[in-house]
Structures are given as structure tokens and as C-alpha cells.
Amino acid sequence: MSADVTAAPATTRALAGARTAYGEDWAPSVRAIAPGRIELLGNHLDYNGGPVLAAAINRVVTVLARDLEGADSRIRVVATDVGMGPEELQVTTLAGWRHGAPPASPFDYARGLVAAVQERPGLGLRIPSEITFAGDVPIGFGLSSSAALCVALASALVRRPLEVKQWVLLAQEAEHRAGTPCGTMDQAASVAGGVIRYDAATLAVEHLRPDLGNLTFIVADSGVDRSLGASAYPTRVSEAGQILEMAKGTFREDIPHLAAIDRDQMDRLIAHGLTPVLSRRLLHIVSEAQRVELGVAALRQSDWPTFGDLMTASGLSSATDYDVSHPQVEELVGHILAVEGVLGARMMGGGGGGTALALLPSDRVGALEAALRQSYYARYGMNDRQDLVQRCAFAPGARVETESLTAADVER
């Protein structure tokens, strides 16, 4: 299940927004394209140094940038899809910038990126410049629209080519500065493309090429908007830090991250007085890391029933032990699992809302949507909405076009 990703619709909207804001003759000198992602297994493991299974999907954010003449240090920004801008960013005032009160606006991610680049003076910002962006990665849907935006902004606004790890960390820092304490899985999946096993401890990416046969992954909208910065995500990051400090003190050794703890060490920590709440958090991390490795083996063998069971177990652990789901999302997951043919389903991403991820035969997607419209979507008054259930195809990673960019490139 792979897809050729076209950025044409997003490019067309971004270009129209730029010409409205900057003038009818505006044309970009750079186009950067970055996909969203689905997280297959490994919920909340990236900031805990664990392994994650993720995939870039056929939803993208496109950033267009135009170099301006002059020696000033301004960047003008238009967020086309939300009708915001142009906003003028004065680069010299953004050194050390951090957003104080989430949630972030689209411009805050641009500010975060500019501030992050200034901590790396060798990269060089594209200033002065005008940029515009648009995309079809739904906001608040759990498909990492913010990571896709930051990955695309990084490649559009940095003058020199970025190495993969450098690109991932720069985009992550932009999100951190905008108020989201995320890990690096979203950015890595967007940059790398396809299906990957991602080691958050080393930032190593292993490309996998699963054969889904007649199966497909879908995401189903719960109707509950989410924002990582305003969800339980920051609290879980803090709790993970508390557990790690306790582990280091208990074992008197350097434990680099929580995903390095095995079940024996977990039991010893619990016996040494880890609180019930933190014990459940650690249980999720340890068990989820094991599920990822089992999932890699199942994926390589095309053992999709086992993979589906692991997905469902991951969602249950995320909802109960790690407590990052939402009652409505779990209700949605229950309805999905009741549909004949579904192999597995779970909440996805940071939690607090967004979507449910499911694996099922392609020819059962229509039956799944019909069942949800008769049950969950009818109950919550959502049947007047389109695109409640969306298929996800694996897609290539981020790319940037500069010198070879022509008017024809921009229009397609």
C-alpha cells in the first residue's frame, strides 16, 4: 500500500494565498513538501527512548518561499488554509524565543523554527523572504500536522541542505519552542517516508516494506479536537522524567531512558515504592516496547492478525495504564472492533482526542463507515460531516525543490 503523493492542491491554495497577500505576480523560489504520519505501534515511546513503528502517509503540508532583495531580517508569513496573515516576523527579535501559553498558532511554529535556526548559525536562514503554506494533513486529527509543518518550514527556510538527524531535531525544537514537548517520531517519519522502525534513543531509521495484501489502515474521526500542548502530554513527559530519576537513584547506574528498563527492573522499582500511578505509566512503556518488537516480527512475516492484536493491546494500555486517551475515542474504538473483518484498532498519537486507527480488509471500509454512521456518528451528531473515515496509504518522505523549480512545477 503505497501512494504517489501530489502536492498540487495544497500548492494551488498556498500560491493563491500568497498572491492575495503579496501581489498577483508572486512566485516562489522554493517549495518544501512534508507528509503527515500514522503511528502503528509505540505510543508515547519516542520521548522515552524507545522503538516506534510509524509510517508517512499521503497527506502533506506544502511551504512556498520567495527570496527578497535587501539586507533586512524579516520573514513575512501567510497561513493560507486558516486565513491568517501576512504576519511579519522580525528575526532579530526571535533569538531565544519560546511560546509561553499553548496552544500554538501556525505562526508560532514559524517563530520556533526561526529561533531554533539561530541557535545553529552555520545553517543560515532564508532572509528576507516571504512564505506561505497550506496542506491536507487535518489539524487536531492526530496525523501530526504540526510536525509536517515544522519539517517543511525547516527545509524551506534553511539555506543549506539538512542531514536527516539534523532535520528531525531542528523540526522538533521548533515544536518545543512553540509549546509542544514532543518526541522525534513524528518528524522522523515525515522526513524518512514509508514505513519505519524508529529508534528514538539513537535517531536511527530502519525502512520496512510490508506487504498489506488486501488490507488497509484507516483513521476514523472521533470528533474530539486535540492539541498536544494542552493535553495530558506534558504531564506524561514530566511523569516519565520522575520515574527515570527514581530508577537512576534506585539502581545506582546510568539508565539512559525509560525504554531501557526491563520487566525485572520495573518490578524492583515498584517494590522500592514507585507510586501506583507511576507504576502504571512504567508498565505501559515497558510493555509497549515489547509490542513494537513483536510488531516488527509480525509485519515482516505479513502476520496481520497478530499485528492487529498488538494494535488493540497497545490502545488498551495507552488508555488505561498511560491514561492518554479520551472516553469518546475509546467508545469509537469499541464500535470499530465490533465490525466484522477488523483486525485491530486503537487510539493514536498523543491522546486526548483525535482519531482511532484501524486495520481491516479494503473491501470492508464501506461497511465500517456505514456501521459507525449508524452508531457512533449518529449519537454525536456527526453524520452531516464528510471524510469521517479516511484511508491512509504509505507515502514518500519530505522533499525540497529549489534551483530546478519552475512555474510548471508550482502549478502541478
Given this model, what pLDDT does residue 205 score? 96
- Whether 101 has a pLDDT exceeding 90, the answer reads no
Given this model, what pLDDT does residue 1 score? 42
Would 378 be classed as within a structural domain? no
Given this model, what pLDDT does residue 181 score? 84
Chain centroid to CA 332: how far?
21
SS3 state at 336: helix
Q: What is the pLDDT of residues 330-357, one digit of tens each?
A: 999 999 999 999 999 999 877 888 899 9
Lowest mean pLDDT among 18-32, 120-134, 224-238, 265-279: 224-238
Would 319 be classed as within a structural domain? no
Q: What percent of the chain has pLDDT over 70?
A: 94
Mean pLDDT within 117-122:
91
Given this model, what pLDDT does residue 252 score? 78
- Residue 356, judged by CB atoms within 10 A of its CB (0-12, 13-18, 19+), counts as buried
Would 380 be classed as within a structural domain? no
Given this model, what pLDDT does residue 229 score? 46
Q: What is the pLDDT of residues 165-182, one digit of tens each?
A: 999 999 999 999 998 888
Given this model, what pLDDT does residue 2 score? 45
Domain ranges, residue 185: 8-208+394-407
Contact indicator for 46, 169 with CB cutoff of 8 Å: no
In this prediction the pTM is: 0.91
CA neighbours closer than 13 Å in the CB half-sphere of residue 315: 28
Please indicate whether residue 230 or residue 263 has the higher confidence score (pLDDT): 263
DSSP codes of every residue in 173-238: HHHHHHT----SHHHHHHHHBSEEEEETTTTEEEEE----TTEEEEEEE-S----GGGSSHHHHHH
Confidence of residue 402 (pLDDT cuts 50, 70, 90): confident
Would 388 be classed as within a structural domain? no
Average pLDDT of the chain, as a whole number: 92
In the chain, how many domains are there? Answer: 1
Contact indicator for 190, 34 with CB cutoff of 8 Å: yes
Would 361 be classed as within a structural domain? no
Given this model, what pLDDT does residue 409 score? 56
Would 165 be classed as within a structural domain? yes
Q: What percent of the chain has pLDDT over 90?
A: 81
Whichever domain contains 80, its CATH number is 3.30.230.10
Would 260 be classed as within a structural domain? no
52 vs 83, 126, 138, 304, 392, CA distance in Å? 35, 33, 22, 17, 18
Residue with cell 486565513: 83
105 vs 79, 101, 183, CA distance in Å? 10, 10, 19
Given this model, what pLDDT does residue 3 score? 46
Please indicate whether residue 182 or residue 222 has the higher confidence score (pLDDT): 222
Given this model, what pLDDT does residue 140 score? 67
Mean pLDDT within 27-48:
95
Would 377 be classed as within a structural domain? no
Given this model, what pLDDT does residue 100 score? 80
- Whether 43 has a pLDDT exceeding 70, the answer reads yes
- Residue 257, judged by CB atoms within 10 A of its CB (0-12, 13-18, 19+), counts as middle
